[in-house]
Structure 1
């Protein structure tokens, strides 16, 4: 019998009972303090071995000398358990070592620093977060021992990133002939900032590109001189002062009067007076800091103009009309419903339960946001709206008020659509404004006859559109921008005005590119033929300028007669394309600079107070320009 059988029939306990190689031996007899066993591996030769009851060293030596490599028993009890534990610990150490090797190859200290840098910049985090013990433990735990960089290293990386961004952006702008900027002033937490963005069109792909160029802190008393100086300094810093076609701002009187005072046109009209004043200043030894300060022409924000029409002019028309009481009662109930949904989670849950949708509640004071919220409310049935009003304990809307609200949403849908067009950035050009306003007026007039409540209001809004956009419709730049947009060409103009517009386009081409008047060089044979044609002439010779003008007019007429609406067709008309680049680089809205201010966490977070004005500006510019500057992208 083997050793296991011996355990059952013998009371004698020995070291063989827990030995992992015991299955290779068979128990034979006791011999005092020793036992006699037979080696099963030596069969058929009988080989009896003697070993101590408390030790198996003799048997192990026999296995090592004679049967090297024999396997341990798989079902060993205590010995097997200890062996499994040792094996698991060994495998665990190997996996841990392999994991550390993989992490060390994939996650380096430089890559960890780049990820922390992106985290600080993208979320506008405080630099002091790097000093927090919890953040350091987090980085050390995720990277298997790598360290978080300190604030000094972060300052260095921000400075280097800002320098790379500025150099790359200046390199891009150096190859661009026409740019447009937007400017706005924003105040939050008792601090005022001037934000500026720059926009241009890629000549090859005709795609619009955008970048932020300024987020400067305005300290002290904000005056025309201080704002004009900052705008001029930003233009000079990026070498675009001579390339800026227009600067788009809102319609507020501060910006309008500012550009009226410092624009190039106003300075040229006052050359005589300024000359004598400057001479007097020089003679008295006073420094003339404003002599070189000039700003480009201003382009008023079209979306802001529509906002003014739908707020100021609309409210004035409603308050003076017969629907004043109905309008106020309807809007009071609408705002009461919004207030309950905004303040109480129960209200929003009730709206989702009854209407089977998330009810939009306007969180910002903008008409287009308010209009979208009204659209959601009108989509509810009368029964659902009544049930929601009862659930939230707000006054129930009467049938006439509901009809009034539905007509409001239907009548002013074109106006909301026009606002969305103007606030776009990639596919919005100055040439879009005139056709959009003309279409808006036509659609409002079409609904005027069938309106029950807003007939007089529509007439007032159309008159307000004519008044507020009068300067735009008289602008030659806006007309050229519209004419060079393939989607519109001259279809929006009266037939009697199109020939005059073609002549204007030809004149603009001749002024912006004088090289087109030069006669192109030809081969020797061609020169001989041309000289013979000149010799056998039967009238006055046409100047080369007239020949070139005829070519320009031919190109313009072919463009006007074309049917393509995409920008790709401009590649076939190089002169028209140049006009498009010059006049459609201008944006019709200040939406990009407003997005710069409204980026998540930039002006209203507490972390901003821990950043200096210089580094806060650098962080904002790095965030905004991460899409246009490839050097800011880290793997």
Structure 2
């Protein structure tokens, strides 16, 4: 502290140098016979005080009045000296001027521009907000006279940030060995939008990373060649053509047909009948056979497959079963409750009472959202249900209907849990799919004999799971992804198939480049094992026959005999770790690309902001990649 005062005051001595409480103040400026200091005890509030160079009485009064806990004992009172102005502006005005200068240094024009830029990008605000008088007054009032940037500066900042983002993302992907992409075409507002996201696992921490690579408007007809060419161009722009393990898509026939036509080495892509609601038109035209557009292997979205089981097979079993009438009568009353709550057709007192019940109302009619809302209704007490029906003026649920809902919630809780697992982007890997589906079947069958209403529905759903996931169960890639996940290893396989899986693992591990095998530090768990152990049921670990070979085979043997469930255990098995990175980079869901499309207002933003297609894409990519790139965080 003495050094700070010496540096600020030069050779001029002041009484504060020898004062016992000088550490509570920081020198700021010289003011003739006085000095200006900042009270450290008042921080972070800027509180500048003026005191004579020959006396500290003014500072002691401040400590006594404001900071009694600092143990500054007042000395004997002294008479106040008459202030000597000498034609200069008053001490108060000078103090106010110095404070304003300090505040202006804390809030710079560059900082305001960055904050406004984040506001526009993150919230998808229209660019013309910069020209709104009220917005300009708001910024000027909060920043003591500064103003937001104009639209020309904003466009330049978008260009600069987009180039930086693309360079940074390209650099990140250059150091990644395996990546997975998701792709989809979405029709809205009379136009079609093509989106691509990219996903990889960090080689050190084994954390899932994601980024958006493309979000462009598709001009003209949607043809096989135009979609395939767009995918190829996006992959080439970021230099990941040879790194893409799979491209995950939904189960829409037109989109899957693109990969079927251009699949490498004549790979057969089994077409799963059904068109996703997001594809506005069937692809037109015949693919040009001379175009060498070889796309990565396609991976159907298991989450979408499970949703289709609910939307089609489950619904068909319910609507044709013996409890069809009971289902319709029960759900009609439930939908009446949701409809009135959603449209706020209740008085203020009724709304307040319902709010205390924390009643959930599904904003989007998707099965897992609907299930959570039903779960909340079932949790209400009989008194709350009676009060709810009376306040909303809807028919009351009868005891049999409530029993029906309770069994519905209990029986199909594993189905809702499985959907949540598949859509958890950060903690979900392809290796999670097979154990999840097998455990889902086991959980459903546990309720089959005791179910009063849903016995036949359980049989239908289990049969649909076998049919729709048959291709996945037969996939070596999916099996290897599961086997290299320590949480499952080979415990999900029957005894008769474990030796064959060991041979497959050994063959894959023997092809791992020794240069790629390295020691790794501590990593994070693959998932919340504590809660998921209650879900997964694949039997207890069983010993596999000893493999006589040394080297690779010995590592495989020790791995399958292990019991550790976290990814941290992979540091003892470097070859298995490399195989985990290779096969588990693939996502089991298209949820990321759906989130890209479903960001509030983004599809209408181009019209609202009067943006060109180029700038519309740049804004959306900047918005999506805010957490993976440092462009908006610098």
- Provide the TM-score with structure 2 as the length reference: 0.76
Equivalent pairs, count: 509
Cα deviation per residue 1:199-233 (whole Å; 9 max; x = unaligned)? 00111111111111111111222222222221111
- Residues 351 and 358 of structure 1 are in contact (CA less than 8 Å); yes or no, is this contact kept in structure 2? no
> Residues 70, 300 of structure 1: CA spacing in aligned structure 2 closer, same or farther, 3 A cutoff?
closer
C-alpha displacement of 1:114: 1.3
Counterpart in 2 of 1:506?
Answer: 506
Counterpart in 1 of 2:54?
Answer: none
Counterpart in 2 of 1:266?
Answer: 266
2:259 and 2:450 map into 1 onto residues whose CA distance is 43
Counterpart in 2 of 1:470?
Answer: 470
1:548 and 1:148 map into 2 onto residues whose CA distance is 72
- Residues 247 and 297 of structure 2 are in contact (CA less than 8 Å); yes or no, is this contact kept in structure 1? yes
Counterpart in 2 of 1:310?
Answer: 310
Counterpart in 2 of 1:59?
Answer: none
C-alpha displacement of 1:266: 2.7
Name stretches of at least 5 consecutive residues in structure 2 with no aligned partner.
1-78, 270-286, 518-546
C-alpha displacement of 1:134: 2.5
- Residues 516 and 578 of structure 2 are in contact (CA less than 8 Å); yes or no, is this contact kept in structure 1? no
2:488 and 2:325 map into 1 onto residues whose CA distance is 42
Question: What SS does the aligned partner of 2:245 have?
Answer: strand
- Kindly name which structure, 1 or 2, has the bigger radius of gyration based on alpha carbons: 1
1:129 and 1:161 map into 2 onto residues whose CA distance is 20
C-alpha displacement of 1:345: 5.5
Counterpart in 1 of 2:579?
Answer: 579
C-alpha displacement of 1:511: 3.3
Counterpart in 2 of 1:180?
Answer: 180
1:194 and 1:614 map into 2 onto residues whose CA distance is 13
1:341 aligns with 2:341: yes
Counterpart in 2 of 1:359?
Answer: 359
2:288 and 2:557 map into 1 onto residues whose CA distance is 50
- Residues 602 and 608 of structure 1 are in contact (CA less than 8 Å); yes or no, is this contact kept in structure 2? no
2:152 and 2:363 map into 1 onto residues whose CA distance is 39
Task: Spell out the pairing of 1:484-503 with structure 2 (5 A cutoff).
Answer: 484-503=484-503
1:190 and 1:94 map into 2 onto residues whose CA distance is 63
Counterpart in 2 of 1:481?
Answer: 481
> Residues 561, 131 of structure 1: CA spacing in aligned structure 2 closer, same or farther, 3 A cutoff?
same
Question: What SS does the aligned partner of 2:309 have?
Answer: helix
1:481 and 1:572 map into 2 onto residues whose CA distance is 18
1:454 and 1:584 map into 2 onto residues whose CA distance is 35
C-alpha displacement of 1:289: 8.9
> Residues 192, 70 of structure 1: CA spacing in aligned structure 2 closer, same or farther, 3 A cutoff?
closer
Question: What SS does the aligned partner of 1:456 have?
Answer: helix
Counterpart in 1 of 2:208?
Answer: 208
The root-mean-square deviation of aligned C-alpha atoms, in Å, is: 2.8
> Residues 594, 70 of structure 1: CA spacing in aligned structure 2 closer, same or farther, 3 A cutoff?
closer
Counterpart in 1 of 2:45?
Answer: none
Question: What SS does the aligned partner of 2:246 have?
Answer: strand
Task: Spell out the pairing of 1:11-410 with structure 2 (5 A cutoff).
Answer: 90=90, 93-266=93-266, 291-344=291-344, 346=346, 350=350, 353=353, 356-410=356-410
C-alpha displacement of 1:350: 2.8
1:71 and 1:192 map into 2 onto residues whose CA distance is 79
> Residues 91, 607 of structure 1: CA spacing in aligned structure 2 closer, same or farther, 3 A cutoff?
farther
Question: What SS does the aligned partner of 1:577 have?
Answer: helix
Counterpart in 2 of 1:600?
Answer: 600
> Residues 267, 321 of structure 1: CA spacing in aligned structure 2 closer, same or farther, 3 A cutoff?
closer
> Residues 589, 312 of structure 1: CA spacing in aligned structure 2 closer, same or farther, 3 A cutoff?
same
C-alpha displacement of 1:395: 1.6
Question: What SS does the aligned partner of 2:551 have?
Answer: helix
The answer to which of 199-208 and 346-355 deviates more is 346-355
2:156 and 2:496 map into 1 onto residues whose CA distance is 64
Question: What SS does the aligned partner of 1:298 have?
Answer: strand
2:167 and 2:500 map into 1 onto residues whose CA distance is 44
1:145 and 1:214 map into 2 onto residues whose CA distance is 39
